[in-house]
Amino acid sequence: MDMHSAACPKKFKKVAGSCLRLFPNKANFFNAYRKCDKLNATLLLHKTEKQQEQITKFLIDNGFKLGKPYEDEIWIGIAALNTKAEFVSEHDQKTMKYMPWLPGEPNNRDGNEECVVYTNRMVYGYNDVDCNLKHKFVCEINKLNN
Ligand SMILES: [Ca+2]
């Protein structure tokens, strides 16, 4: 292996400049977040449309049935748990420049949707949902400056 290449930890796979690890067992947002944190990782974030495409391909290749709505949705590391109810990266509370919301989202249904999942309703994108729902998740370690 090239000494200059940023190797990923065991069980993580290098995708689009990040190391990703899939967790097929569903958990609520908080437990998923903690699980990633213990691995010095964060919940998945998309930084650009190109990176989103590469990661989506990786997810599909790894058995995620993202083509079917409401099945196999994946937690994204974005939440609006702050006092301003603003969607930010939960890890560092920074505003995300790239947030591919699905049409009509975020809609904060019943005033109870403060976390974000990656899902498919004809197109791939974000939906705000109840943080206590259980979903699969991906932990990410950022390796490259992008
Ligand atoms: Ca919603």
CA 61 from centroid of its chain's CA atoms: 16
Cα torsion angle, 87, 50, 54, 141, sign? negative
Around ion ligand 1, residues with a beta carbon closer than 5 Å are: 105, 107, 113, 127-128
Distance between CA atoms of residues 102 and 24, nearest Å: 23
The listed CATH number (3.30.70.2190, 3.10.100.10, 3.40.50.2000, 1.10.10.920) that belongs to domain 13-142: 3.10.100.10
The band of 5, judged by pLDDT with boundaries at 50, 70 and 90, is: low
Residue 145 has pLDDT above 70, yes or no: no
Cα–Cα nearest to 136, from 31, 13, 11: 31
- What's the rounded Cα separation, in Å, for the pair 103 and 9? 36
d(CA 76, CA 139) in angstroms, rounded, equals 9
Q: For residue 44, how far is its CA from the centre of ligand 1 (angstroms)?
A: 18
Query: Domain residues of the chain, as ranges?
Result: 13-142
pLDDT of residue 65: 72
**pTM (predicted TM-score):** 0.90
Pair 12, 58: CB distance under 8 Å: no
